[in-house]
Structures are given as C-alpha cells and as structure tokens.
C-alpha cells in the first residue's frame, strides 16, 4: 500500500513535528502550518489571517527585515505562505545546507514577531494586499463572482461568510494592536505543525528542530469557537453581477458535507464525472455535442467546516445563460437519478489516483500533504484513509451523495458583460 | 519581551552549496531518426514523456498565426480507432494525461501516466502522433472554441499586455509578433488542409526528440517504443525563412481599459537567442534585476513603495533573438511612479555595479532552479525536452552551472552595457488611459500610441 514514510513527535511546548527524509535530491523543504485561517476572524475584522501572513515576512528580532528573504535567497532558497479559510502555511525550499537556517528563521519569527512589528511595516503590507486583491479579483475576469459566492452562501455570522482576502475597509482598518492580539492568540507552538522533508537524516533533523523550537515556552492551544451549525440556504438564490467580460458565465453552488465527512469523496468523484475533462458529462453535452458553452466546470470545494459543490459553464457567443442553465439542469438531474456508469466510476477513480501519485513526486507537495492530514485528522498518516474513501465509493454511493447535495437549495450566480459605454 | 536564548541571536553558519548531480540520461536513436533520451527516476510510481517537434508557432506566417498550435490541438481529436471522446475516455481509464500544444520554437506531445498503465497509454499517444483523423466536424468545433478563446483573451489584462508587447517589439512581419494561439482574424484564414499539411511536413521523427523520465524498465520501454513508433516515417522537413530585423518601436503604448483599478505594465526590449554565449550571464543579470523576491525590481516596487503585489523581469531566450521584459501590475494611481522606478532599476544595472552578494545570490538562485527542475519527473522531462528542442548537449545543466561559476561582476556590467538600455525599451500599459496618461507625460514620455487588445494600432481619427 502507498505510504509516505515519516517520523513524528511532539515537543514539550506542544509543537507537532513530522520528519520525512528523502535523499533523492540535495534539497530540503520546511513546511509549517498554523491552525488558523480566515474562519477564525470576526465580522468587521476580515482579511486579517492573510494580512498577518504578509507581516510574517517583515522581520523578527534576530532576523530583522529583510533578512528572512535575503538570507535564504542568497543561497538559492525560496519561500512563500498561503492562507485559506481553514489554515495558514509557510514553506521554504532550498539546498540542504539551508536546513538549519530555515528552522532558525521560522523559530525566530514564531518567538519574537510582535516585539518588532511597526506601523510602517503594516502600512506597506496593507498596500501589497490591496494590490493583491485587485490583481486576483477586481481586475480579473469573473473575479467578482469569486468574491460574491461565500457571502451569498453563508450567513454573516458563519466563519466562511467573508473571503480570505478580506474586505478593503477591514484591511484598511487593521492596527498594530490587532496584529499583536492575533499573533498572541493563534501563533503558538501548540497550534502549529512542522514538516521537515528532504535531504537530511532523522537524528540530524530532530536535533535541529529541538535546538530552535524546543526552548519556546508551552502555551495552551487557542480556544476555538464552537462549530457552527450546518449551513443551509432557506431558498434558492438568483444573483446577477456585471463584470468586464465578453461572455456570460453561470455558476451554481450547493452546500455539501465537510472535508472527510461522509459523501465528501463521493461528491469529488461526482464532480469528476460531471465536469472533469473532455469525457465528462457536462463537457460532452454542452461543449462537444450542443456547442453552447465554451467551457464547463464542476468541483467539490472541500473545507473543514462545510463544503460547496459548484458547477458552471461559460456561454459561447450567440447563446444565453437560460439555455446554459436548462442544459446543465438536465444533465445534473439525470445524474442524480441514474448515477455514474461503471466505466465512469473507473475513469474517475483512476484519474484521482493518478493525480495523487503525481503530487507525491514533488517534495513540497508531500510535505504539505503530511501537514494536511495532521491538521485534519491529528495524524500525518492519512494517505491510506484518504484513498480508501475513493476506492470504497460505489456507483450508488456517488449517485446518492450527489442526489442529497442537489436536493438542497442552490445559488445561481450569473456574471454578465458590463454594458458598453456609448 | 520574550527572552531568546543565545543560540538564536546569530544566523546559523551555512555550509557550501551542494553539488547538482543531474540524473543519468542515456541517448539512442531509432531507425526512423528519432532521438530518444531515457532518464530513470523512482520516487513516485509515474512516468513522464515529452515528445518535442522542432517547429512551433515561430514558423507560422503572421497572417496565419495559430496554425502550429491548432495542429497540435487537433491531433487528439480522433486518431486511429478512436474518436475524440474515445481517446479522452481511454486516457482517463488509464489515469493518463495527454497534452498537446505549441510554443514559439516547438510543438509538444506530453504524456504522463502511472507506472502500471504508461505502456498502454503509449498506444494512444502513438495513434495521436502518427494516425490523427483530422476530420472536418472536429476541426470546425476546435476552431470555433479557439476563436472564442481569442475573444475571451481580451478580458485578461495580463494576456493582453503580452499580445501587445510582442507585436510592438517584433513588429508586424515577425512570427514572434503574433500570439501562438492566433488572433480572431488570423484563425479565419486557417483551413483543415493547412493543419494536414503542417502535420505532414513537421511532425516527423527526424525532426523530433523524445524524453521519457520516471519509473520504468529500460529494456522493456525500448522494445515498446520500437513497436509503437514503427510506422512513424521520416521525411525532409522544409526550412523556415529567416525572420525580419527588429522594427522601429513606439516608446509608450497604452491599451485603454477605462476604470481599471490596476495598470498592467510591461517594459520590453530586444534580448538574445537560446544559443548565445551570453545567456548564462544575462540570466544572472536578470536574477539580480527581477528574477526573485529580493531582486531590485520587486524590492523597489513592492517592498519599498507598495505599488504592487509583485514586479519581475525575464529574458525569453528563443531560436531567434527573443525579448527582455520587466513587468508589474500596479495601483492605477501609482502607474507613473512605478514606470519611473522600473526605468531607473533597468538603468541601474549599468550604473550600480553588481555587488558580490548579488553575484553569489544570482549564482545560487539559478543553480538551485536547475536542481529543482531535476527533482521531479515532469521537471526532468521538461529539462531534457528543452535540451532536445535547441539541440544542446546532454550535459547542458552542468555546463550552465560551470558558466555561472565563471561569471564575474565585470562580465555582468559589460553585458548590461551591451544589452540593457532603458531608453530603448517600449513601455506597454493596459490601464485606464485618461487616469494614467497625464502622469506619464510628466515623466517626459512622448504621447501614447493607443493599441487595441489584439495588438493593432488604433488609428487617430
């Protein structure tokens, strides 16, 4: 059976450590997850987890700005961070001689960041983030729909209501005091897990992690808000947005079970059968045969508190979204009634497995996967459990899962071209 | 204040960079003239193949832009015993990914599959390569989808700035001046016969190079390749005409996007070709200017000034001399100061000598990029695919590493003086013209020439 080899232990201060040696290339990857995402923000203070991620690069006591990037890049290393609704991750990749440096830099910012953060640094990163918002959403075709989906699907008090990038007003209002409070609450060894992967041996890796993280004091993991009740749309929602696009696009969204909950993997397989490539049902019907759509998509957007199942299509010139909507509905209802064929199941399963293998080829993906399982299951050894969900799915379990999701109310979000000024 | 132990106060000592040891690659030639390179790697149970054809969009006639890439795209729309959907279904059953496309200098068939099914997937790849159906009904559909994609490209400021920059830099008559995907009006001139002729002329084993990387049994794979490619016949391949010289270029070009919250900015100037002996030095200069997070451009525009989410630069080293480009997407109101800073940083390569730290950083950055490229199966296939496309020696990664070691700060200064001239750069901006033009005029730039999103100059009425 497929397995990623690793060794795991917990430091006295609560930091979970996972070591994954791989000596096939002279590279190392350090991957540190903090179990905090935009879901842990409050209404009116949105975008904070992500803004904070940017501030993590603004220097720490022993590695003042811009040492973090400058030191590692001087040796050919590079790094980044990403923030989602559920978690924030930071990673460094580089030659093996940088391993100790990576750990030192991560440890120093975990220990000392709030001591050194200044108003000027916050202001700079605020601007960078607002540019990121424009580049990724406001000045990108169909980007406005991306921002609107979560607000429409979740009530204002649900932690997925606001987008991870936050609102412009909230990002502008963030203060240094907010930054310190956020750090104090969530950036604790007991709220993090660290993967070290690549060209080192276990004893060396363990000694280095203990040297740089072991001295940091223990604090209890942050108290968590109670899990919100399962979201539900009280009725179907129809929304229309205008955007700077040539062609209208329809996007349908339903609430769906959370990541790893029953039905989650079945819906992932259903999404593949419906919209995963040329042989999928929506592609065949709308793009290939009827030629009313330029593209189609379907995916199960799995997240920890709850997921969204989404499907959509972009109309070809000369076709409208009523026609697209009717054609999609016909395919979706038929699938809910009949389920996938055995051949479709085989294709969906094999494609999923092949994509999984492909991910395993890259050191950083393996590191991130170990952290993903640790974050989700409290155990990095999740490959077997994860893949079993797919191998155990049946035609009927996929059909039934899809029928249950489709029975809920849905959002139909139309993006239409802005009227052209005369 | 948190007390940190003494061991935290200073940065750890960093040992020497590891040596990059490229994986063992063996080269052979099939009877048809096809060069084959096999590179074993047993980290994940997958196999990646890249078949490179040494003709791409760079030989499309300007008025027929899009032909090379549409030819590639048509090959898996029905081949051998299977129609288009039959191919897609069988590949998915095998968990295989097949990708076909064209860049400037080459066309490519890529196949990636799990170890267990790769051999079966090769049958389909061989059908696609040798026995495409090229039926009229499929052509009509594929062409229509491509036309729509070219219409949609006008929505994407990053894509638009590329189309317009290439047109401005290379001019109307150079094949690099048109997007590889084509334009709405060039697609109208293409026929299925053009596709058949392109396939017959260029998709030939004696004009191709195959790399297979990953987890396979070498002798079994060789036998398989002999069998599935047995019907692929060589033929003389027509030579492409030389491209025209660099045209005269406007200094400032704007593609108007009223109300745009960001300006997408690109500075373009002539670069050099893939085989130039200056390539490694220019790659180092570029790493310093805009090739990493701490590069001069990103540090200035993002970190110092907060104009942008990022700024970078690159050389496109192609068969014919390609472009040098610096790029960013900035707050609309920061457009003029951002352009000023970009020009200043480019000029700075001649004025502010490369420091010893920058030199070491450029070396390490590029060396580790090579190492990372060789650390995945797909990356190995891409690395050796490029070697094949440009007819480079198999030990090109080591030669590149050695050239990085040799380069000095003086060498880089000489290259900057020869290649990098801020006054010769054309500035192309996709943004709100009314909002940004006054500020640009204050920089002393001439009046903007206005282009449309397809790269055509809009006549002044």
DSSP A161: S
In chain A, whose CA is at the least distance from the CA of B301? Answer: A128
Partner A, chain B 218-257, Cβ-Cβ below 8 Å: 257
Task: Work out the minimum CA distance from B111 to partner chain A, whole angstroms.
Answer: 12
In chain B, whose CA is at the least distance from the CA of A69? Answer: B294
Residues B43, B374 contacting (CB under 8 angstroms): no
Dihedral sign, CA of B195, B196, B197, B198?
positive
**Residues of chain A positioned with their CB less than 8 A from the CB of B372:** 27, 93
Residue A262: name the closest of A310, A307, A311 by CA: A307
Partner A, chain B 338-367, Cβ-Cβ below 8 Å: 357, 360-361, 363-367
Rounded Cα distance, A144 and B115, in Å: 42
Rounded Cα distance, B232 and B224, in Å: 14
What domains appear along chain B, each with residue ranges and CATH number? 26-228 (3.30.830.10), 252-451 (3.30.830.10)
Q: Could B43 and A357 be called an inter-chain contact, meaning their C-beta atoms sit closer than 8 Å?
A: no
Rounded Cα distance, A80 and A122, in Å: 18
> Has residue A179 got a pLDDT over 90?
no
Count of Cβ atoms closer than 10 Å to residue A185 Cβ: 14
pTM of the complete model: 0.95
CA gyration radius, chain A: 23
Residues A332, A281 contacting (CB under 8 angstroms): no
**Residues of chain B positioned with their CB less than 8 A from the CB of A361:** 43-44, 46, 376-378
A51 in reach of chain B (CB within 8 A): no
Residues 6+ apart with CB under 8 A from A221: A14, A35, A188, A190, A191
Smallest Cβ–Cβ distance between B376 and the set A73, A141, A361 belongs to: A361
Dihedral sign, CA of B172, B173, B178, B183?
positive
In chain B, whose CA is at the least distance from the CA of A124? Answer: B306
Residues of chain A with CATH 3.30.830.10: 7-213, 237-417
Would you put residue B268 in left (φ > 0), alpha (ψ -120 to 50) or beta?
Answer: beta
Q: Could B97 and A354 be called an inter-chain contact, meaning their C-beta atoms sit closer than 8 Å?
A: yes
Q: Could A246 and B152 be called an inter-chain contact, meaning their C-beta atoms sit closer than 8 Å?
A: yes
Band of the pLDDT at A284, cuts 50, 70, 90? Answer: very high
Average pLDDT, stretch A321-335? 98
Smallest Cβ–Cβ distance between A294 and the set B19, B145, B364 belongs to: B145
A106 in reach of chain B (CB within 8 A): no
User: In a mutagenesis test of the B interface, which of A29, A53, A66, A95 is the best target, namely the one with the most B β-carbons within 10 Å?
Assistant: A95
Residues A390, A119 contacting (CB under 8 angstroms): no
**Residues of chain B positioned with their CB less than 8 A from the CB of A354:** 46, 95-97, 113-114
Band of the pLDDT at A422, cuts 50, 70, 90? Answer: very low
Q: What is the pLDDT along chain B (461 residues), one digit of tens a residue?
A: 677 898 899 999 999 999 999 999 999 999 899 999 999 999 999 999 999 999 999 999 999 999 999 999 999 999 999 999 999 999 999 999 999 999 999 999 999 999 999 999 999 999 999 999 999 999 999 999 999 999 999 999 999 999 999 999 999 999 999 999 999 999 999 999 999 999 999 999 999 999 999 999 999 999 999 999 999 999 999 998 899 999 999 999 999 999 999 999 999 999 999 999 999 999 999 999 999 999 999 999 999 999 999 999 999 999 999 999 999 999 999 999 999 999 999 999 999 889 999 999 999 999 999 999 999 999 999 999 999 999 999 999 999 999 999 999 999 999 999 999 999 999 999 999 999 999 999 999 999 999 999 999 998 76
Residues B64, B109 contacting (CB under 8 angstroms): no
Residue B240: name the closest of B168, B176, B172 by CA: B176
Q: Cα-flanking dihedrals φ and ψ of residue B331, to 5°?
A: -50, 135
B331, β-bridge pairs:
B262
Task: Work out the minimum CA distance from B136 to partner chain A, whole angstroms.
Answer: 14
Smallest Cβ–Cβ distance between B85 and the set A138, A288, A317 belongs to: A288
Q: Distances in Å between the alpha carbon of B457 and those of B66, B76, B165?
A: 20, 36, 12
pLDDT at B460: 77
Q: Could A98 and B92 be called an inter-chain contact, meaning their C-beta atoms sit closer than 8 Å?
A: no
**Residues of chain B positioned with their CB less than 8 A from the CB of A245:** 152, 155
**Residues of chain A positioned with their CB less than 8 A from the CB of B10:** 62
pLDDT at B1: 67
User: What ranges make up the beta strands (E) of B356-436?
Assistant: 426-431
B208, β-bridge pairs:
B53
Residue B303: name the closest of B341, B272, B344 by CA: B341
Place of tokens 């099914």: B117
Rounded Cα distance, B221 and B232, in Å: 17
Q: Could B331 and A131 be called an inter-chain contact, meaning their C-beta atoms sit closer than 8 Å?
A: yes
Rounded Cα distance, B430 and B332, in Å: 10
Rounded Cα distance, A338 and A332, in Å: 10
Rounded Cα distance, B17 and B108, in Å: 34
Residue A67: name the closest of B14, B44, B201, B363 by CA: B14
Q: What is the pLDDT of residues A402-419, one digit of tens each?
A: 999 999 999 999 999 998
Q: Distances in Å between the alpha carbon of A196 and those of A18, A81, A186, A190, B19?
A: 6, 16, 21, 17, 21
How many beta-carbon pairs under 8 angstroms link A with B? 215
Q: Could A100 and B84 be called an inter-chain contact, meaning their C-beta atoms sit closer than 8 Å?
A: no
For residue A60 the two structure tokens come to 């720490």
Residues B101, B104, B108, CA angle at the centre, nearest 5°? 30
Average pLDDT, stretch A10-18? 98
Q: Could B95 and A353 be called an inter-chain contact, meaning their C-beta atoms sit closer than 8 Å?
A: yes
Residue A49: name the closest of A134, A170, A131 by CA: A170
CA atoms within 13 A on the CB side of A45: 16
Task: Work out the minimum CA distance from A99 to partner chain B, whole angstroms.
Answer: 9
Residues 6+ apart with CB under 8 A from B225: B30, B36, B122, B210, B212
Q: What is the pLDDT of residues A247-274, one digit of tens each?
A: 999 999 999 999 999 999 999 999 999 9
Count of Cβ atoms closer than 10 Å to residue B167 Cβ: 25
Helix (H) or strand (E) holding B157: helix B157-170
A224 in reach of chain B (CB within 8 A): no
Rounded Cα distance, A392 and A29, in Å: 33
Supply the residues of A annotated as catalytic: 53
Partner A, chain B 420-459, Cβ-Cβ below 8 Å: none
**Residues of chain B positioned with their CB less than 8 A from the CB of A26:** 18-21, 371
Residues A33, A89 contacting (CB under 8 angstroms): yes
Smallest Cβ–Cβ distance between B365 and the set A73, A98, A348 belongs to: A73
Q: Could A77 and B2 be called an inter-chain contact, meaning their C-beta atoms sit closer than 8 Å?
A: no
Residue B128: name the closest of B183, B180, B86, B191 by CA: B86
pLDDT at A393: 98
Q: What is the pLDDT of residues A84-97, one digit of tens each?
A: 999 999 999 999 99
Q: Could A104 and B12 be called an inter-chain contact, meaning their C-beta atoms sit closer than 8 Å?
A: yes
Residue A109: name the closest of A225, A49, A187 by CA: A187
> Has residue A35 got a pLDDT over 90?
yes
- From the options 3.90.1150.10, 3.30.830.10, 1.20.1250.20, 3.30.1360.30, give the CATH code of A7-213: 3.30.830.10
**Residues of chain A positioned with their CB less than 8 A from the CB of B89:** 279, 343, 347
B8 in reach of chain A (CB within 8 A): yes
Residues B436, B332 contacting (CB under 8 angstroms): yes
Band of the pLDDT at A421, cuts 50, 70, 90? Answer: low
Question: What is the tally of helices (H) and strands (E) in chain B?
Answer: 16, 12
DSSP B457: B
A417 in reach of chain B (CB within 8 A): no
A362 in reach of chain B (CB within 8 A): yes
Task: Work out the minimum CA distance from B265 to partner chain A, whole angstroms.
Answer: 12
In chain B, whose CA is at the least distance from the CA of A3? Answer: B44
Count of Cβ atoms closer than 10 Å to residue A164 Cβ: 22
Smallest Cβ–Cβ distance between B364 and the set A76, A107, A278 belongs to: A76
Smallest Cβ–Cβ distance between B261 and the set A139, A277, A360 belongs to: A139
**Residues of chain A positioned with their CB less than 8 A from the CB of B9:** 62
Q: What is the pLDDT of residues B388-425, one digit of tens each?
A: 999 999 999 999 999 999 999 999 999 999 999 999 99
Residue B437: name the closest of B344, B339, B345 by CA: B339
Residue count of chain B, please give it: 461
> Has residue A352 got a pLDDT over 90?
yes
Place of tokens 């049902």: A281
Rounded Cα distance, B284 and B290, in Å: 10
Q: Could A361 and B46 be called an inter-chain contact, meaning their C-beta atoms sit closer than 8 Å?
A: yes
Is residue A325 reached through a cis peptide bond, with omega within 30 degrees of 0 on the bond before it? no
B152 in reach of chain A (CB within 8 A): yes
Rounded Cα distance, B311 and A248, in Å: 32
Residues B82, B128 contacting (CB under 8 angstroms): no
Task: Work out the minimum CA distance from A260 to partner chain B, whole angstroms.
Answer: 23
Smallest Cβ–Cβ distance between A128 and the set B4, B14, B302 belongs to: B302
Rounded Cα distance, A238 and A253, in Å: 11
Rounded Cα distance, B97 and B397, in Å: 27
What fold, for A237-417?
Answer: Cytochrome Bc1 Complex; Chain A, domain 1 (3.30.830)
Task: Work out the minimum CA distance from A228 to partner chain B, whole angstroms.
Answer: 34
Residues A259, A264, A267, CA angle at the centre, nearest 5°? 140
Alpha helices (runs of H) in A26-175, residue ranges in sequence order: 48-55, 67-74, 99-116, 119-133, 143-153, 168-173
User: In a mutagenesis test of the A interface, which of B18, B308, B355, B361 is the best target, namely the one with the most A β-carbons within 10 Å?
Assistant: B18
Task: Work out the minimum CA distance from A115 to partner chain B, whole angstroms.
Answer: 6
Residues 6+ apart with CB under 8 A from B292: A73, A78, B298, B361, B365
A180 in reach of chain B (CB within 8 A): no
Task: Work out the minimum CA distance from B158 to partner chain A, whole angstroms.
Answer: 9
Residue B352: name the closest of B406, B301, B409, B395 by CA: B409
B371 in reach of chain A (CB within 8 A): yes
pLDDT at B158: 96
In chain B, whose CA is at the least distance from the CA of A293? Answer: B145
B16 in reach of chain A (CB within 8 A): yes
Residue B190: name the closest of B68, B83, B56 by CA: B68
């Amino acid at each position: 059976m497929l397995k990623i080899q690793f060794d795991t232990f917990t430091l006295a201060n609560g930091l979970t450590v996972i070591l994954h040696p791989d000596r096939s290339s002279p590279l190392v990857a350090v991957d540190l997850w903090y179990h905090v995402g935009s879901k842990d923000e409050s209404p009116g203070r949105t975008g904070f987890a992500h803004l904070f991620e940017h501030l993590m690069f603004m220097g720490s006591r022993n590695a003042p700005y811009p040492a973090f990037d400058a030191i590692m890049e001087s040796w050919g290393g590079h790094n980044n961070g990403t923030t989602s609704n559920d978690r924030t991750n930071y990673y460094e990749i580089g030659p093996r001689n940088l391993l100790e440096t990576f750990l030192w830099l991560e440890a120093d910012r975990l220990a000392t960041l709030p001591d050194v953060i200044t108003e000027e640094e916050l202001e700079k990163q605020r601007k960078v983030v607002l540019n990121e918002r424009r580049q990724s959403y406001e000045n990108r075709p169909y980007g406005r729909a991306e921002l609107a989906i979560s607000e429409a699907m979740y009530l204002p008090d649900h932690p997925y209501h606001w987008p991870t990038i936050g609102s412009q007003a909230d990002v502008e209002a963030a203060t240094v005091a907010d930054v310190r409070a956020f750090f104090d609450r969530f950036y604790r060894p007991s709220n993090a897990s660290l993967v070290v992967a690549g060209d080192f041996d276990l004893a060396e890796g363990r000694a280095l992690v203990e040297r740089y993280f072991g001295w940091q004091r223990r604090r209890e993991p942050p108290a968590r808000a109670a899990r919100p009740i399962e979201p539900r749309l009280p009725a179907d929602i129809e929304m229309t947005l205008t955007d700077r696009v040539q062609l209208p696009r329809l996007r349908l969204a339903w609430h769906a079970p959370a990541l790893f909950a029953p039905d989650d993997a079945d819906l992932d397989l259903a999404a593949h059968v419906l919209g995963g490539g040329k042989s999928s049902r929506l592609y065949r019907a709308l793009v290939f045969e009827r030629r009313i759509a330029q593209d189609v998509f379907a995916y199960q957007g799995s997240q920890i508190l709850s997921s969204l199942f989404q499907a959509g299509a972009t109309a070809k010139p000369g076709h409208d979204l009523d026609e697209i909507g009717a054609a999609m509905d016909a395919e979706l209802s038929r699938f809910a009634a009949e389920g996938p064929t055995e051949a479709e199941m085989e294709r969906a399963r094999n494609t999923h497995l092949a994509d999984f293998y492909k991910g395993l080829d890259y050191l950083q993906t393996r590191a991130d996967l170990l952290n993903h399982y640790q974050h989700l299951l409290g155990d990095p050894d999740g490959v077997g459990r994860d893949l079993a969900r797919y191998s155990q799915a049946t035609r009927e379990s996929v059909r039934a899962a899809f029928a249950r999701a489709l029975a809920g109310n849905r959002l139909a979000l139309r993006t239409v071209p802005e009227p052209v000024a005369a | 204040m948190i007390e940190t132990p003494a061991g935290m106060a200073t940065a750890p000592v960093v040992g020497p960079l590891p040596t990059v040891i490229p994986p063992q690659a063996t080269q052979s030639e099939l009877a048809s003239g096809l060069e084959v390179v096999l590179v074993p790697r047993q980290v994940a149970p997958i196999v990646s193949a890249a078949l490179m054809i040494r003709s791409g969009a760079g030989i499309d006639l300007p008025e027929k832009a899009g032909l090379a890439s549409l030819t590639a795209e048509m090959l898996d729309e029905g081949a051998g015993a299977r129609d288009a959907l039959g191919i897609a279904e069988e590949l998915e059953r095998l968990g295989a990914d097949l990708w076909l496309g064209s860049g400037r200098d080459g066309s490519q068939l890529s196949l990636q599959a799990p170890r267990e099914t790769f051999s079966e997937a090769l049958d389909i790849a061989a059908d696609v390569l040798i026995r495409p159906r090229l039926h009229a009904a499929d052509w009509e559909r594929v062409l229509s989808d491509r036309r729509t994609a070219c219409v949609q490209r006008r929505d994407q400021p990053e894509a638009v700035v590329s189309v317009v920059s290439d047109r401005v830099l290379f001019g109307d008559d150079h094949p690099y001046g048109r997007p590889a995907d084509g334009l709405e009006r060039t697609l109208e001139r293409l026929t299925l016969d053009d596709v058949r002729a392109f396939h017959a002329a260029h998709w030939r084993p004696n004009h191709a190079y195959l790399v297979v990387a990953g987890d396979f049994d070498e002798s079994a794979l060789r036998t398989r390749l002999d069998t599935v490619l047995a019907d692929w016949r060589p033929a003389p391949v027509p030579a492409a005409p030389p491209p025209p010289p660099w045209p005269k270029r406007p200094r400032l070009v704007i593609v108007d996007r009223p109300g745009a919250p960001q300006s997408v900015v690109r500075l373009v100037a002539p670069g050099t070709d893939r085989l130039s002996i200056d390539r490694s030095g220019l790659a180092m200069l570029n790493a310093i200017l805009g090739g990493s997070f701490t590069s001069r451009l990103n540090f200035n525009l993002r970190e110092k000034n907060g104009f942008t989410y990022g700024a970078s630069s690159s050389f496109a080293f192609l068969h014919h001399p390609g472009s040098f480009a610096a790029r960013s997407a900035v707050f609309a109101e920061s457009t003029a100061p951002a352009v000023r800073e970009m020009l200043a940083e480019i000029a700075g390569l001649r004025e502010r000598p490369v420091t010893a730290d920058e030199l070491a950083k450029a070396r390490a950055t590029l060396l580790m990029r090579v190492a990372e490229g060789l650390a995945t199966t797909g990356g190995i296939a891409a690395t050796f695919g490029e070697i094949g496309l440009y007819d480079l020696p198999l030990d090109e990664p080591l030669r590149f590493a050695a050239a990085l070691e040799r380069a000095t700060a003086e060498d880089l200064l000489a290259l900057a003086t020869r290649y990098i001239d801020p006054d010769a750069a054309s500035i192309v901006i996709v943004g709100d013209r009314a909002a940004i033009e006054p500020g640009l005029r204050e920089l002393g730039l001439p009046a903007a020439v206005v282009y449309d999103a397809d790269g055509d100059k809009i006549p002044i009425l």
